[in-house]
Structure 1
Amino acid sequence: MKKGPIAQWRAVSYDFQQIWAHKPMRLALVGVLLLPLVYSYIYLKAFFDPYDNMRYLPVAVVNEDQGAVQDGERIHVGNDLVRELHEDSKLKWEFVSRTQMQKGLKQGSYYAGIVIPRDFSRKAVSVDSPAPLKGQLQYYVNESNNYLSGRIGESMIRELEDQLEQKLTHVYVDKIFEKIRQSARDLAQAADGAEQLANGTAEAARGNQKVKAGVDQLQDGMARLQAGAETLSDYLTRMNEELIKAKRQTEEPLNWLLQAKTHLHRINQILRQIEGGQPPVPPTNRDSVFARVESIAQNARESQAINHRSVRLMQELIQGHPELAEDPRAQQLASALSNNGERQSRIRDQLDQLRRGDFNRPENVRLPDVKELAAYTQKMEADVDRAINSIKKMDQLIRATSEMANGAGRLAEGQNDVIRGLNKLENGVVRLQTGLEKIRDGQSELADGLRDGVRDADKSLANADQKADTITDSVLVKQKNLHPVPNYATGFAPYFLSLSLWVGAMMLYTVIDLYQVLDQKPGKEPLTLTAGAIIGAAQAVICTAALVWGLGIHPVLPEWLYLFTMVMSFTFMAINQMLVALLKNAGRFVAIVLLMLQLTSSGGTYPLPLLPEFFQTLHPYLPMTYTVHGLRAALSGGDVAAVMKDIYILFGFMSAAYVVTQVYLRWLKPWMRRVSLPVWQKKTAA
């Protein structure tokens, strides 16, 4: 006969009264209820937020930096870092010597150590050197003291390294910007210089144009001068030829003049004899004397004609070349020719008078006349000497005109060379003009480009400090946490809650002897199992309330959290009940092994991809996988659908375990009793 619900609850109440009536059972019940709480609360309390206590973690700092000099300024990066660490409270920084640090790491009084080496500043400022070096911070840790402290300290050192690197990078960028500013100033000066060069080149081009105009004028003048030199050379050549002809023509008159000189000398001797009272010229010599006088007169006339031609040529030469009028040698030659003509004319007249004189008649010979004639012949002799000297000077005139003609020829050749040089100079001036114009255009373009560079540099240097900050921290990571977890306790609560309730289920079936219940009369065991379910629900509610109200964990879905922990507790109880029902004490051992496998494969600590392949394979087949996932969704994820999905999966595990247990208890175990009753009796008897 089936009992109603009221009767069943009365039976359950009776069971609790029986348990509570016995002190050992009462203590065991309290222990079963509180054991999950102890597991979850103590663990989560201890690891609630360890990073919040980092300020108590002692880390040694050794500053051995000797500093450096940059741009005449003393730099101490190590001292700057120490000052910043004094103001930093993330870790417990203790500033000691290297010996104290090593001793503290060995003894465990320091969990990490930082050494700022001697050359840290020198390397830090070596960015301007041809071979820049990176400054190195030395990090010491003794993981044998505490592995996690080393990992935590390392993360903090990484953060410190990033901050220091940003600071140094900011300094480097500031220096680079300052160099860019200086380069911009240099570019501005270069632009001014290029502009001045362009102006100077333009001025040089204008001057070169004037030079070209002067060269053109010089070419024209040299061309006219060359023509005049060629004409002068022709005149001088012809004059030299005429003088040579005249010299040839005067050779015979010169001989005659020499003879006349001799005859005049003889006549003078005779006249002196007459003047001294000696007899006149003998008749035998008279004809000879008159013949000589006639010959001298004839030669004088011919010499005078030649002299007239020479004077005429000299006058034509001076008229064709007025510059010869200023030449002393030409003036001397013209004067000599003119005087020679006059002397020759006088000699000729005197000879004619002498020739007409009659020295044979004594009555014609008078002493005064003789004296006058002697003086006259002496004067003639002197004129003949001067005429001879004038004729001899023609050699000098010929040489002078020849030299002048040669000089005029060389002058013409030199002028040709000068003209060729002027032509080359003109070509060079033209090329120079073209080059100067190109240089001027290039310098103008250079000046414009430099001006553009200065403007670009000024534009680039606008907001230099802000740009330096951007370069120093060029990537700004904007974190968007879809479902933030405020602390370690919230993050590890799914893992420890699952562990606690599994242990609670194991302890429940250690306190409750399932086989003693099963040996009772039929209908009694379901009531006792109901009492066990109530205990499991109480465990879930107590643990959840302690986390929420005791530790201050704030779930996103509090109602679903309570519901989920109760379903989780029922599932774990069903599985443990199945193991104990089927395997008795061996089932408790299997439950412990199953707990270890679930703790390592559920992903409650490290992400699943970081686990070995074996545990990744077990992951989807164990219930704690879904309890961890569902608790995360209820605590911080806020995903109701995910919570419901995991509840359905847990119901599947729970139902399967319950069905296996019921099949075993209601059909398989009674059948096994009937088949093996004698065996059981033998064992009981034994």
Structure 2
Amino acid sequence: MTVLRLAGSELKRMTYGLLPKLTILALTMVPLLYGAVYLYANWDPYKNMDRIPAALVVEDRGADAADGTRLDAGNDVAQTLVDGHLFDWHRVSSPAEADEGVRTGTYSFSLTLPADFSANLASPGSFDSAQQAMLQVTTNDANNYLLSTIVDKVTTAVHDAVAKQVGTETAAKLLTGYGTIHTQLATASDGAAQLAEGLDALKGGAAQLADGTAQVSSGARQLVAGQTQLRDGAVRLRDGSAQLAAGLGSLEQKAATLPTDTQRLADGAAQVAAGNAALNDRVQSAVAAADAADAGLQERVRASAQKLVASGVLTQAQADRMVADVAGAQSSTPASDARAQLHTAAAQVQQLATGSRQVADGAAQLAAGMPALTSAIGQASDGAASLSAGAAQLASGEQAALDGTQRLADGAAQASDGAAQLRDGAARADSGAHDLADGLAAGAGKVPNPSAQQTEDVSKVMGDPVAVDRVSQTAAGSYGAGLAPFFLSLSMWVGIFMLTQAMRPVTLRALASNAPAWKVAVGGWLPFVAVAAAQATLLTLVVDFALGLHPAHPVLMWLFLLLGGVAFSALIHGIISFVGTAGKFVVLVLLILQLVSSGGTFPWEMTPEPFRIAHQILPMGYVVNGMRHLIYGGDLSGVLPIVVGLIGYTLLGGLLNVLGTRKNMTWRLKTLQPEIAV
């Protein structure tokens, strides 16, 4: 039989039935699963570093830079880190809280910016106090060994960025400062010469100022004299206006009854005028009656004489003489005097009536104007009171003005004295300006000249202003020690998996017995446990004594590795017992998943989302984490929950084993002629 026929016959046998075909297909995909999945998990883990929790502590108090600006480098660096999202930064209040978080695994590492961070960055401005700024990094290899390498690279990048920025700024400021000093010294020397020339002019101006202030002082004294006279006049005005206000007030009180009195006067004058008019009428009537009686008497005498002439008793001449005698008698008799007096009295009465009428009209006008007069008197009284108050204020203001003027005179006198002193001082300043020019020339050679040690210190800080103070709570001694938790856990899974290639999970003889399913299951599992214990013991001895691992807790590490082997064997045995021959493929797939999700190399938080879920479900990640704490001396409080979890995985594997055993105790045709032998 040829080689090709043998190969074809074996392939025909291996592909007989559905399950063999699926097995060949699955085995064909193993390299693809292992290579593709492993590459996918580790293709670019650094892009997921933002899922790694890190504590950030900012204690920096800030500092004042040499140029007067405020330097708050700590918060600036912290904000840059947070905004950069390189890690999942959590700002905490104190280094103690950060250290506790790193110890318990809450944070993978911590970065602390100390209180003097900004002050040290600004320290190159002083030759005597130049110091490096520190970055304090705290790691714990119990959280992840390779994380320390990642953090080193990150802190180096932060260090280089801060160092470059601050070093460049510091050197630029220092060199610029020296150039500025040189330029300012030259400028100061020229300025000193100009100052000397200006002080020459100042001396002449100071003399003129002294003369002018003397004149101001003399004028101020004259102003005081005039202000005194004005103050005295204001006092007299105040006193006179007070007297006027008092007199008008009294007049207002006394004139209060004038409207009533003048009205009564007007009424009485009207009555007198009316009486005088009636009297005049009667007197005029009496005068008319007397004149008429006198004229009638003469007429009767003339008539009687004419009668006597007519009768012949008298002649015409006698009659004329008789009439003339009677007329003469009338003019010389007391009656004639009475008539004359009557006419005179009538004329006087006529004047009296006219005058009384005028008096009555005037009294009426006086009564009508009297209310306005009394109102005006009241207004004048109020105005006089206001005038008196204003005059008092004026007098007070004039007194204040006089005081101010006196102070002005005193100040002018002081200014005059000060101007004289300025004149003397200007002469001294002129001499001092020349001394200043000489001193600046000498001071140009006194620019700071640091010593060799000072130069070394300052240049060190300028070239490397930031140093990293790294504190490791736990540390692996070597690269191999750093990967030991992962490879120890992986070797136990692979070692137990390889047992399934040589050992049957359960024998047909045991399945054919009448023993309970759980006894058959445990009996089939115990050989795996025994071999796994031997594997763990041998592995521990070799790595501890031959390789020199030197774990912090060697006995606990050995017991924990035993427990991990027990849990792995229970799961592997249970899966193969429950699923059958295909269970080996399931175990292989679980191996590949745990390679990339257990966090044995890169932190599991940096893996894609499906593998982060697998890390939470599968046991190898927990075994790796527990081994780190036991090997490096990390916090042991987190190991106890892992122990409980491994016991749970053991019980889960036992349950699958019992169920699979119970299922396999029912024989089928495939039991007698399996498609693929276990």
TM range (shorter): 0.3 to 0.5
TM-score using structure 1 length:
0.37
Between 1 and 2, higher relative CO (CA 8 Å, sep ≥ 6) is seen in 2
